[in-house]
Structure 1
Amino acid sequence: MMDLKLAPSFSLIALNAQRSLQMTTVKKVSLRCMAAAVILELYLEGCFTQSENKLTLHKEALDQSYSTLYRETVLQPLLHNSAEVTGDLNWWLKKASRKSNHQLKKFETAISDDLQAMNLLEDIPSLIGSDMYFDSAEVEIRAYRSNMEAYTSITENMRAEILEEGPVTDEVICMLWLLRECGCMQDFFSLNELEQVNIKLHDLYQSNLWAKALFPIQIRQGVELGIKRFLALKTKFAKTFIGSSLNLIFPALERSRAVFIETESWFDNSNQRLDAVITRLMSYGHEVKVLERGSIATLKIDNLLYDAIPHFVMMKVPIQGVRLIPKRPL
């Protein structure tokens, strides 16, 4: 697996399963953090001239061989026609992340094109488009899928550094901060593990100069992150026993995540029903792996885990299928 810089590595995590054609609120949060990751990437590579707590970036940085289009889309609005720009780390991160929708889209195109050129990102039909209840109003719904090997490598290496004893690299410190700012720490750590993560964050802040400089900075935007957390709250509710039951009855409760995939035939055997749904999903271009079978199977679909619950709905005729409920670490 190729050695990726910080911004592309974080982008593979942040863009996975995001809608590729629509600018959703959740994707805005991710893109703002991805833009901040560009600044951190430049800092780690020594592209800034530092004097006390001030960081100076010279315009020549855009012209050097290590410049890329995704970096340029972040830096050009900051540099304008100036030969150099100076600010502290807090200023740089907030300026980079607070972009207009037009600038965010331009940045998204630049970095997604870069990742697709490396065969690390694909644009596929969104899983929600397979939901029997979903009405797209004839709007095409597509989503990003990160290369599964790269996605697993990045997330597992990060988890290992945080949860195991030993030193933590500056890159992983940046990853932790970025996950915190985009509000998706719980996507990669269980509730029990989050307690360990909090302890690790505190210890790093006390003992690591880079963490001490970075961790107090907040770039999150209240309204956008609030909406994202509200959506996450609905998702969390639908994972409880009562929430899951309600979600089967009222699928609109978690419209953005839970999906019902109907089968084209009637099966007496739940395994046959599951296999039929898997075959259908794979025909749409999704990568599906069965991690566990049983009354409630566990599937890995495009890097994300789902509980697959056999279900049928009563319409003019009974319709069999499988309800896919997003599953986070336990």
Structure 2
Amino acid sequence: MKEYSLSEQFALISLDGMDAIHDTVAKKVALSGIAMAEVLQKMISNGSMKNSASFGEQLAGEISRVRKMSKKERHKLEKEMAAALKAEEALTEIPNLLGCDMTYYTANVTIREYRSELREYQRIVESIRAEILEPGEVSLETVCLLYLCRETGCMHDIFSVEEQEQIQSRMIEMMASTPLYKVLLETEFHSGIRNAYLGFLRAKTNLFKNPYLEGVNLLFPFLDRKQAIFIDMVIAGTTVEERRKKTIEFLRSNGHVCEEVPMGSERFIKVDNKYYRIFPSTRSCKVPIQGIELLPVYR
């Protein structure tokens, strides 16, 4: 089993579900995170983190450089990282889930996205979760990954709202006991516009505590890697099980890995590395069109 570097691990988390073609705001944030991961990886290797005072000064300089990355530099970083992970068969390009929406599907619009290899993605995520949510020492690598996830809006992909509150308490404890962690966790590297974007995602995560509230995601699908989509199908006279089966068959035929996953009293559909719930709906066109809404699940 391959051991991935800090930057590769973070890339597998942050690029999963990301638009593989267009330079979106979400991808700019993810690539800034990957650039910071490479910085932290280098600092760990050369021993720059041993002195918290000098580490803080050096980190500030690197953050300034990352914030000033040009579009050309981001594109180069993306291509190099994607090529390396594709060579390891840890990252692939697949049709974007939004392409399964009736509007895009009937217009033959093709959108591509990255998908991290499911087992590797799960292994990395579960390793982070185990270290931070269970008692015991947390490694420097895991602290760095948590920091990067926090700064790029990936926390809600890995942890529930309740778990994030628990993690916040643990981070405060680590900052109090370890000067190095205090310097790192008190530092921010995202710019103002990306800060606003991350704030929107955090607000949206809280909005989605109501599992059937769909408006924000449908109005602003470009702000997140999860998309709410409408799939047209006959609803009248069908059962929930039949609709789930047809939905999974349709998504699989369009290049996605799908399965039903029981969670408490509900059954979600796991599409690639993200969770969704479905319910019957109707789109109003010239005539009403029956179908199902596939809505993202926010932990």
**Alignment TM-score > 0.5, same fold:** yes
Q: CA deviation at 1:315?
A: 3.9
How do 1:77-92 residues align onto structure 2 when only pairs under 5 Å count? Answer: 88-92=58-62
Letter in 1 for 2:251: L
1:184 maps to which residue? 154
Q: Does 1:195 find its partner at 2:165?
A: yes
How many residue pairs were aligned? 294
Distance 2:265 2:47 in 1: 55
Letter in 2 for 1:163: L
Distance 1:214 1:319 in 2: 52
Letter in 1 for 2:30: S
Identity of aligned residues (%): 32
Mean CA deviation greater in 165-174 or 200-209: 200-209
Query: After superposition, what is the alpha-carbon deviation per residue over 1:142-174, rounded to whole angstroms, capped at 9, x for unaligned?
Result: 100001101111111101111100010010010
Mean CA deviation greater in 287-296 or 199-208: 287-296
How do 1:204-219 residues align onto structure 2 when only pairs under 5 Å count? Answer: 204-219=174-189
Distance 1:308 1:172, change over 3 A: same
Distance 1:25 1:136, change over 3 A: farther
The structure 2 residue matched to 1:157, chosen from 123, 127, 138, is 127
SS in 2 for 1:149: helix
SS in 2 for 1:107: helix
Letter in 1 for 2:270: K
Distance 2:44 2:130 in 1: 21
Distance 1:96 1:136 in 2: 41
Q: Does 1:116 find its partner at 2:86?
A: yes
The structure 1 residue matched to 2:197, chosen from 221, 224, 227, is 227
Mean CA deviation greater in 232-241 or 125-134: 232-241
Query: After superposition, what is the alpha-carbon deviation per residue over 1:243-290, rounded to whole angstroms, capped at 9, x for unaligned?
Result: 24xx4xx98434342111223786522211221111111011101010
SS in 2 for 1:45: helix
Q: CA deviation at 1:49?
A: 9.9
Q: CA deviation at 1:314?
A: 4.5
The structure 1 residue matched to 2:219, chosen from 253, 271, 281, is 253
Query: After superposition, what is the alpha-carbon deviation per residue over 1:152-203, rounded to whole angstroms, capped at 9, x for unaligned?
Result: 1111110111110001001001011111111222222212111211111011
Distance 1:270 1:218 in 2: 46
The structure 1 residue matched to 2:73, chosen from 103, 122, 127, is 103
Distance 2:47 2:159 in 1: 32
2:20 maps to which residue? 20
Distance 1:198 1:294, change over 3 A: closer
Asked if structure 1 preserves the Cα contact closer than 8 Å seen for 2:115 and 2:272, the reply is yes
Distance 1:13 1:285 in 2: 20
Distance 1:90 1:139 in 2: 43
Asked if structure 2 preserves the Cα contact closer than 8 Å seen for 1:188 and 1:328, the reply is no
Letter in 2 for 1:6: L
SS in 2 for 1:307: strand
Output the TM-score relative to the length of structure 1.
0.80
Q: Does 1:40 find its partner at 2:10?
A: no
Letter in 1 for 2:159: F
Q: CA deviation at 1:216?
A: 2.0
1:62 maps to which residue? none
Output the TM-score relative to the length of structure 2.
0.87
Asked if structure 1 preserves the Cα contact closer than 8 Å seen for 2:153 and 2:202, the reply is no
2:2 maps to which residue? 2
Distance 1:171 1:223, change over 3 A: same
1:173 maps to which residue? 143
C-alpha RMSD of matched pairs (Å): 2.9
- Please identify the structure whose Cα radius of gyration is greater: 1
Q: CA deviation at 1:310?
A: 2.4
Distance 1:152 1:305 in 2: 13
2:97 maps to which residue? 127
2:297 maps to which residue? 327
Asked if structure 1 preserves the Cα contact closer than 8 Å seen for 2:278 and 2:293, the reply is yes
1:300 maps to which residue? 270
1:61 maps to which residue? none
Q: Which runs of 5+ in 1 are unaligned?
A: 56-86
Query: After superposition, what is the alpha-carbon deviation per residue over 1:21-74, rounded to whole angstroms, capped at 9, x for unaligned?
Result: 00100110110011000011111222759888447xxxxxxxxxxxxxxxxxxx
Query: After superposition, what is the alpha-carbon deviation per residue over 1:75-96, rounded to whole angstroms, capped at 9, x for unaligned?
Result: xxxxxxxxxxxx6122123313
2:247 maps to which residue? 277
The structure 1 residue matched to 2:116, chosen from 139, 146, 149, is 146
Distance 1:106 1:269, change over 3 A: same
